[in-house]
Amino acid sequence: MTYSLAVDIGASSGRLMLGYIEDGTLQLQEIHRFENKLIELNGHFCWDIDKLFEEIKAGIKKCHDVGLTPTSIGIDTWAVDFVLLDENNDRITDAVAYRDPRTDGIMEEVFDIIMKERLYLETGIQFQKFNTIYQLYALKKHQPDVLKKAKRFLMIPDYLHFLLTGKVTNEYTNATSTQLVNAFTKKWDKDILEKLDLNPNMFGSMNMPKTVVGPLRKELEEEFGFTMDVILPATHDTGSAVIAVPEMDDTIYISSGTWSLIGVENHFPICVTKALDYNFTNEGGLEHRFRFLKNIMGLWMIQEVRRNYNNSYSFAELVELSLQANDFHSTVNVDDERFLKPDNMIEEIQAYCKDTNQAVPETPGEIAKCVYDSLVNSYVQAIAEIEDIFEKSFSKINVIGGGSQNEQLNQLIANATKKSVFAGPIEATAIGNIVTQLMALNEIKSIEEARALIKQSFEVKQYSAKG
């Protein structure tokens, strides 16, 4: 039996999932789950990357404890964040998080150097103030000595793969999120790097998903009692998640988690003016496909609401309370920067409603309904923009990821769009990670075969418009 181990780390939690094919279906077994959260370090909001690696090691050891030895392992995480290494491959920066305010005002400074339209024409990437390009320019502005010492640039999963193998790699799908990769050559854009005076030698050659990086470092092999190959999945978690959409024909997907990523799969980048105006992104995918999508704030808002209520309500209870607030109709723009990292999400939602002369939500049910209705409004707008760009109507929406378990939100999407909504698979990112490894191991022959396997292996619920 060939076992592949997916390490899937999101903004709020991580998990290690073991996957294997048995009796014609893909089987998943959760090995280890852990919390991930921001910490304050050296004046910035950061990821505790050392703790994340310890959790990965703990999960690997649990595989051995239950008598299941993986053949391979691959890691995916969120996008845009990175670390820098010096000439000895020692880390010289903290893993500063995209929600840190160090990039405030930086995007506009970069536009003074490179025209916004030129950046989009070359990279096809959505403009967000926390993109890697702006993080690096902020570092250049505020800590130029650190940037001068840097010899290698690694995104978060690249660095975790380095800790496992001792080998330095840059994986393509996550690299595209930096806004430093040319959408057409699929390589680092040297012209952009030159204009921003960023050392091009920091950025290594591009490695595609399914690349076998190599075995574990000897000391880790001894620590675990076995070895396995590290195989690159689509290390951008959305890149892995989209692989797990069972059917792409006539389908808009929503990868629903801390962020909502809504879009379609394409075989070429769309870097036209209308896509720029709508602020869509062209992120690289498996086998040179593109994820033409828009980032929407997502369930981060309800996660923060729950935290502000001291976790007194479960997510299911907040859904139930929202149903009881059926007569409340105020909404917010979920992509307003005020919701990126507010001191208190509830108060920020209330302030937005007050500022826009709407009824102010007071109860937990009204707050939750405001969030869900606002998300749906944003989805409806993004879908209209996709259909405008492609000059066609899509009949299906497939919600994947943890957010696909929110039946109320799924029904609201169906009601608002009048389209068939399919929900699942839930563990889409881990599934996409695993099938990519299995393709590299020749257990699965193609992405089409992988999607057929996924379709027959996992439950997908359907929702139709009501009312």
Same domain, 199 and 316: no
Which CATH number is 398's domain given?
3.30.420.40
Integer angstrom CA distances of residue 253 from 143, 237, 264, 281, 395 = 40, 14, 6, 14, 11
Distance CA 428, CA 399 (A): 10
Closest CA to 245 of 213, 305, 208, 293: 293
How is residue 37 written in tokens? 């959260």
Dihedral angle computed from the Cα positions of residues 138, 144, 145 and 146, in that order, rounded to the nearest 10 degrees: 20
Catalytic residues: 237
Same domain, 84 and 199: yes
Q: Using the structure block, give the residue that is written with the tokens 């057929």.
A: 452
Q: Could you give the maximum distance between any two Cα atoms of the chain, in Å?
A: 64
| Residue 294 C-alpha from the chain's centroid | 12
Same domain, 209 and 122: yes
pTM exceeds 0.85 for this model: yes
| Residue 79 C-alpha from the chain's centroid | 6
Residue count (the chain): 467
Q: Using the structure block, give the residue that is written with the tokens 């404890």.
A: 65
70: how many CB neighbours lie within 10 A of its CB? Answer: 24
Same domain, 105 and 8: yes
Same domain, 144 and 208: yes
Q: Note down the domain range covering 396.
A: 247-424
Same domain, 283 and 194: no
Q: Please give the tally of structural domains in the chain.
A: 2
Same domain, 336 and 216: no
pLDDT, one tens digit for every residue, the chain (467 residues): 999 999 999 988 999 999 999 999 999 999 999 999 999 999 999 999 999 999 999 999 999 888 999 999 999 999 999 999 999 999 999 999 999 999 999 999 999 999 999 999 999 999 999 999 999 999 999 999 999 999 999 999 999 999 999 999 999 999 999 999 999 999 999 999 999 999 999 999 999 999 999 999 999 999 999 999 999 999 999 999 999 999 999 999 999 999 999 999 999 999 999 999 999 999 999 999 999 999 998 999 999 999 999 999 999 999 999 999 999 999 999 999 999 999 999 999 999 999 999 999 999 999 999 999 999 999 999 999 999 999 999 999 999 999 999 999 999 999 999 999 999 999 999 999 999 999 999 999 999 999 999 999 999 999 999 97
Q: Do residues 67 and 31 make contact, with C-beta atoms less than 8 angstroms apart?
A: no
Pairing label, strands 212-215, 206-207: unpaired
Same domain, 302 and 339: yes
Q: Do residues 168 and 204 make contact, with C-beta atoms less than 8 angstroms apart?
A: yes
Does residue 451 sit within a domain? no
Q: What is the DSSP letter of 169?
A: -
Same domain, 78 and 13: yes
Distance CA 199, CA 95 (A): 19
Same domain, 289 and 257: yes
